[in-house]
Amino acid sequence: MITIKLGDITREDVDAIVNAANSGLRGGGGVDGAIHRAAGPFVMEECRKIGGCPTGQAVATGAGKLKAKMIIHAVGPVWRGGGQGEAELLRSAYERCFALAGGHGARTIAFPAISTGVYGYPIGQAARIALDVGNKYEKDFNEIRYVCFSERDLAVYLACSGK
């Protein structure tokens, strides 16, 4: 089942939440900062041990104080106009999240809109990629949630999903 909702991803009660991380796994602003603040310092300690993650990839850590069992830190691309392989890198980041979640036995997963904040990826294009990859993995999970932070993003995700 695919769910699209308005909400705060740090409050989702799922097996895995996805963090829109930077390649240094250093925390930051937006959803990344919110997840690190809510999860507590344990998660940052794990990220420091991992060291980093290339764009288009993802790594998993514990979830600290969150309801989720794990955090998957996905590094999406910075939007540079669409001609620098951004779509392939974003698709790869989503694919890697599903592979990590499934490999750790997760049956429910929640995603933010990866790369659409300070990385500037156009929300409509990003939503289509996210939903396309989610549809591919829907049979492998009990629930895939796309948690939108704003009404605007929610409207775009719903329009792209046909709901």
Catalytic residue numbers read: 32
The DSSP bridge pattern shows strands 70-74 and 58-62 to be antiparallel
Distance (Å, rounded) from C-alpha 40 to C-alpha 44?
A: 8
Rounded Cα–Cα distance for residues 55 and 156 (Å)? 24
